[in-house]
Structure 1
């Protein structure tokens, strides 16, 4: 059963039920050379929920997000310690195929970044390289289904062969979401997916996020506390590389246990 609670920040969705853990970060620390960016983060991410990571710029929330699909591997001086379990598998185990991992844990970036290809080829790219389709009809179904799930099908169905870069900013971001979900990931990471969008496009993406959580576990980094309150069921507050507090979104925004959390939410720090 869900009900709305009103706070000084925004309307928060209350959820009384619990969900199994999908991703579990245990004592996760990140180092860039000699500099430590994350300190012993322990966080459980629940299945088919939206978890928001909030905090000031440079607090470590995007760094933690990038740990969840090993994007930090692309930075030569970066070192990650601790364990991150996807279901019961440690994604930092040496036997893990990182390409396969990133098919299971998709990512949508801050700025829309469609490939310089057609709308169709943008969505078809992942399923092709992962061998997920058996012929053109299979691929068509994946592309069409992903565009529908991303709320974009009706706007582009008659121009699938046109460049994805020709779409508006909000449409490009939904195309990137369609591209991310085309490989049928279990987890979808979103790094400030609305920061480059206008309020109308942002509202469309937020509504989409709420629909997508029926099929995906979603982790979103956002600078907007209003957005975190609107879209997430769980919120984690980071500050200076440390996880300060995490819990149900309504509790974090209406009754935080930690003074630093309260100071951030009320605007005393930021």
Structure 2
């Protein structure tokens, strides 16, 4: 009879708990741009249905780490990633992984709002169309309305769905980009300083939206603003010179670092 040692049992229990709580796990993640090393052996777990804020000075590696989570660094020539990153315990850098499918599961919202030069409706319908998630006009109508509702934008744009998305205000454009990311049914949403180009009122609306979205999505946000990290996140990770300095509950990080 094979009796597991106490240490093995404890390790298995720990693994089970981590599997239950963590959506993405980064182990010894290093990133190189050519000869230059931008990240040094970062270990960071992203919890399910939680907002994790990545903070630190400019050039410290927080956006670089964010981009490893959905392999956006693949688009940069000479970029190399070592270590492992898993999504639901599956390695996202495995050769069998379809990167397009990965980016549908791990969506991204960029610093500057970047709506497509199409109508508001087509901005949302584009992703579901190329992924084959909707087929009939009724399906697309439902996806568009649901996504805009979740992004808190539907009531503001419902009468002009066929007007260009680029005609919206900056804050509305950013919420349109969030709705576009939601439309393909992601599990994780990455946000790279989503409010840096917005005024305080638009920023408040996006922050309120982030708070609402975490019931259905796991969110990782890069921000320069300590106040924003304190307002929107439950976990905070501090980066400095390519190293992860500390990661903890947000309230602990800001009261007893």
Per the shorter chain, which TM-score range?
over 0.9
| Equivalent residue runs for 1:53-68 within 5 Å | 53-68=54-69
Distance 1:239 1:221 in 2: 13
The answer to whether 1:225 aligns with 2:226 is: yes
Matched with 1:160 is 161
Distance 1:63 1:142 in 2: 31
Matched with 2:241 is 240
Distance 1:233 1:176 in 2: 23
Matched with 1:80 is 81
Q: Is the 8 A contact 2:52 2:236 kept in 1?
A: yes
Question: CA offsets, 1:16-65, max 9 Å, x none?
Answer: xx971000000000000000000000000000000000000000000000
Q: Is the 8 A contact 2:125 2:143 kept in 1?
A: yes
Distance 1:189 1:136 in 2: 29
Distance 2:140 2:70 in 1: 25
Matched with 2:189 is 188
Structure number with the higher helix fraction is: 2
Q: Is the 8 A contact 2:124 2:179 kept in 1?
A: yes
- 5+ residue gaps, structure 1, are 1-17, 257-270
Q: Is the 8 A contact 2:129 2:135 kept in 1?
A: no
- TM-score, normalised to structure 1, is 0.88
1:73 is paired with a residue whose SS is helix
Distance 1:142 1:215 in 2: 16
Distance 1:134 1:120 in 2: 15
Matched with 1:216 is 217
Q: Is the 8 A contact 2:165 2:173 kept in 1?
A: yes
Distance 1:207 1:86 in 2: 26
Distance 1:141 1:26 in 2: 39
The answer to whether 1:129 aligns with 2:133 is: no
| Equivalent residue runs for 1:1-270 within 5 Å | 20-256=21-257
Distance 1:56 1:163 in 2: 36
Shift of 1:134: 2.4
Shift of 1:165: 0.2
- The structure that has the greater radius of gyration is 2
Root-mean-square deviation (Å): 0.9
Shift of 1:72: 0.2
- TM-score, normalised to structure 2, is 0.92
- How many residue pairs match? The answer is 239
1:142 is paired with a residue whose SS is helix
Distance 1:111 1:100 in 2: 24
Shift of 1:76: 1.4
Distance 2:109 2:135 in 1: 26
Distance 1:135 1:26 in 2: 43
